[in-house]
Structure 1
Amino acid sequence: MELRRRLNLLSVAIAATPLVLAACTADSKPDGRRAGEQAASLELLVTPADQARDVPISAEVGTAVKGGRVTAVRITDDKGNQVQAEPREDASAWVPSKPLQPRRTYTAEVTATTDAGKTVTQKTTFTTMPKSTKPAITSTLYFSNGRTYGTAMPVTVAFDPPVAKEARADVQRRLFVKTDPPQPGAWSWVADGSQVYYRAPDFWRPGTTISVRSALQGLPIGKGRVGDADRTATSKVGHQVALEIDNRTKQMSVLRDGKVIRKIPVSLGKSSTPTSSGKMVIMEKHEYTTFDTRGEPDGGYVVDVQDAQRLTWGGEFIHGAPWSVGDQGSRNVSHGCTNISASAANWLMGVTQVGDLVTVKGTEVTLDAGNGWTAWNVGWDEFVKGSALPVPAGLRPAPAQAPPPGTVVGASPAPVPSGTGG
């Protein structure tokens, strides 16, 4: 597969096949002149620096070339074993397919070649640091292997504690997404650094394969912490399914591939515990679960529910609620959830996928950023502002247009926390 040049690897969507780690070209010519003399205009810098010590196990082999291009890379450990690596799309570095080992010595040989066929080879040998004693930032990749997801599924990585603003670029640089067929996207951080999302400007095309690597193990994150693990997953995108919930009509429209296949009466959150309006994504599906809100504001109850689908971290679900069937379609009585009949909830579980878009409109409060996977709750122009790295040229928002004379620009009200379950 050719590298997609227009993508900026800093927002990481690797599309290259693993580089063939070929043997390096000899550094001398038959006439006795050194390669560097024959190719005086070819400059190659390789990192880490030769004889560097205490190198993080997340290290990459960086290459900076002037007057040519990298044509061969070979990385070996101190036992002579070859280390597999893949190039970043801009060829700025070769990323080992697995984290390096602590207290080990590695050698990288890199060859660059001019268009005229002249070559130069550089070698660097470096030693990794001992196993870190710094506390790890726990990362969670909300993208599992071998699943089928909805077309609105954002690749989500969550962090505990949140990542400080000054460390986000380093973390983002180690998050990789590849799509087949290619569908470029970008990363965007929630303001507090607790989550980062990856999505494309438009929904994923059904049938797309998405491969993800969260390569954070041993990565220095700020001054006092390191990344906890290296995780990978590959899954597919299924049919386009969307749910549209209108508080005015108290109806849910279920759409598959753009066509309404059923309308379901609903009862949303009552005025003291309103349902959030906004664009959410189905995060979890449970055939059976228990809501326990003891100790929470406006809570204090324990109830068993069936066929529950989570929409927010704050506890908003779509679920079967036989106790409110008489109110569904006419009156809001829940604690923030979307109540539907038991039969409708059972049917809906067989239609939806984790990653399907759910749009709620017309309620008293708006969805808070980060309360769930809220990557679609803003437009693309706003979404890419959350990237800690430059956004690829083809994905940047259009230049802002000056508002017409007399336009009054105001701010939206602050979101109000949603209810929890019910």
Structure 2
Amino acid sequence: MSRTRRHPLPRTARIAALAGTSMLAVALSACSGGGGDGKGALGADAGAKVAVNLTGDNAKAGEQVKVTATEGTLENVSVKDGEGDALAGKIAGDGRTWTSDRVAAPGTTYTVETKDDRGRTGTQRFATQQAGKVNKLDFNFKAGSTVGTAMPVSITFDHPVKNKAAVEKQLKLTTDNGTKGSWGWYQDQAGRQRVDWRPQTYWKPGTKVKLDADLKGVDSGADGGWFVRDYDNTFTIGKDQQVEVDLDSKRLQLVRDGQVVKSIPVAAGTPGGEKASWDGKMVLMRKEGTIRMTSQSVGLGDAYDKMVRDSMRLTDSGMYVHAAPWNAGNYGRVNNSSGCVGMSDADADWLYAQVQPGDLVEVTGPGSKGQAKLGNGYAEWNMSWTAWQKLSALTPGTH
């Protein structure tokens, strides 16, 4: 094996070499931004002296990020996830601490970058624990759609929400005209958790509405799971119109801007028993076109199985307004359907083209089976404003 012979340096050269090594060490220290060891302290001697409350690879999700200066004061703090989205936050008045406005989401890696009052910088990374269960949600309208003046904002969750107040605080609904409203919590017909936002009075036509559900990092509570993303949605309020059904006269009217546009003879549900129609204030949920309707789906045995056109849904339990040509002899004369409001093909075609999801549909007159329960469609307009506000998880006026 070859050997390289080492020659001792003169004393003066050794002193110069040692001095150079010392200068290099100082330079490295000054350039290091604080690599971060995951234990809270950031930076080497020349880096920013700060500590972060969340550390390591299994940090607790759902906590605000807090950065504390252990020496000097903070000038700037940036906390971003792997996609570059920043957690907004504020530096306290004394400059010693920075706290994020929102919490850290589960299964996310964050990079914390700091700069203090001496220009020293530091960087640290931490990752939060994975979510054991993820909760998702669905809206009752498509983004950018136009809906009627009675349409509530309705959110349905995949899993139960026990921390209702924490979730409701993150639901922000804004309008271009300051519309007043409130959230209300209940279960839908299928037993799923639901929260609706209802205006105090019907929407004003032309209102622009924006919903921001800033839920990323919020815990639903026991058996509910975590939210791992934010949602946003917009819609516009359309024409001022409503449908009025009179069970006594057996007629339906479309009213627009307070004026009757057309009156149509109809046949509604058979009075008494399960075949009667619901009454009260309902909302046109969806225009479903031609669909298959079976009596078994609404608990009425084998009474019917038909393809039905111009179907306009009023309740989750299966009440519709639709074309019913097989019942032509009874329009305007006899209510003998299985609960729906039927009319001729021509009248149904016309009405279907005129109405919009979100239009109020009000059924009055004798022979109904009462009002549909809250959760069976959109029945909140049958409640007083005071009663509706009580279904919020927050104090009225705070949301």
Quick one: distance in 1 between partners of 2:89 and 2:153? 21
Cα root mean square deviation, aligned: 3.4
Quick one: distance in 1 between partners of 2:217 and 2:295? 38
Correspondence for 1:288: 290
- Contact in 2 for aligned 1:132/1:218 (Cα 8 Å): no
Amino acid at match of 2:356: Q
Structure label with greater radius of gyration: 2
The 3-state SS of whatever aligns with 1:382 is helix
Quick one: distance in 2 between partners of 1:383 and 1:108? 46
Correspondence for 2:330: 327
Say yes or no: does 1:373 pair with 2:373: no
More deviation in 223-232 or 143-152?
223-232
Please report how far the alpha carbon of residue 181 of structure 1 lies from its aligned counterpart in structure 2 after TM superposition.
2.2
2:170 to 174, 185, 189: 174
Correspondence for 2:281: 279
**Cα gap change, 1:218 to 1:351, in 2 (>3 Å):** same
**Cα gap change, 1:250 to 1:220, in 2 (>3 Å):** same
Amino acid at match of 1:382: A
- Contact in 2 for aligned 1:49/1:125 (Cα 8 Å): no
The 3-state SS of whatever aligns with 1:219 is coil
Please report how far the alpha carbon of residue 368 of structure 1 lies from its aligned counterpart in structure 2 after TM superposition.
1.1
Please report how far the alpha carbon of residue 193 of structure 1 lies from its aligned counterpart in structure 2 after TM superposition.
6.6
Quick one: distance in 1 between partners of 2:382 and 2:59? 43
- Contact in 1 for aligned 2:53/2:66 (Cα 8 Å): no
For each residue in 1:182-237, what CA deviation from the matched residue of structure 2 results, as whole angstroms up to 9, or x when unmatched?
21321011267722110221111111111113344553111233245533211111
For each residue in 1:284-311, what CA deviation from the matched residue of structure 2 results, as whole angstroms up to 9, or x when unmatched?
1022111133365213232101111101
Please report how far the alpha carbon of residue 59 of structure 1 lies from its aligned counterpart in structure 2 after TM superposition.
6.0
Quick one: distance in 2 between partners of 1:151 and 1:86? 38
Quick one: distance in 1 between partners of 2:332 and 2:84? 66
Structure 1 unpaired stretches of 5+ = 1-47, 64-71, 111-122, 396-422
Quick one: distance in 1 between partners of 2:123 and 2:243? 55
For each residue in 1:298-352, what CA deviation from the matched residue of structure 2 results, as whole angstroms up to 9, or x when unmatched?
1323210111110100000110111112112121111111112111111111211
How many correspondences in the alignment? 318
**Cα gap change, 1:295 to 1:364, in 2 (>3 Å):** closer
Q: Which has the higher helix share?
A: 2
Residue identity (%): 30
For each residue in 1:159-182, what CA deviation from the matched residue of structure 2 results, as whole angstroms up to 9, or x when unmatched?
344434xx2212222222111122
For each residue in 1:137-173, what CA deviation from the matched residue of structure 2 results, as whole angstroms up to 9, or x when unmatched?
4422113111111111100011344434xx2212222
Quick one: distance in 2 between partners of 1:253 and 1:86? 54
The 3-state SS of whatever aligns with 1:354 is coil
Correspondence for 1:130: 129
The 3-state SS of whatever aligns with 1:190 is strand
Structure 2 unpaired stretches of 5+ = 1-51, 68-74, 91-98, 116-121
Correspondence for 2:140: 142
Within-5 A mapping of 1:10-409? 49=53, 54-56=59-61, 75-77=78-80, 81=84, 83=86, 94-95=101-102, 100=105, 102-107=107-112, 127-134=126-133, 136-164=134-162, 167-190=163-186, 194-227=193-226, 230-270=230-270, 271-272=272-273, 273-294=275-296, 296-300=298-302, 301-362=304-365, 363-392=368-397
Q: TM-score, normalised by structure 1?
A: 0.66
- Contact in 2 for aligned 1:313/1:372 (Cα 8 Å): yes
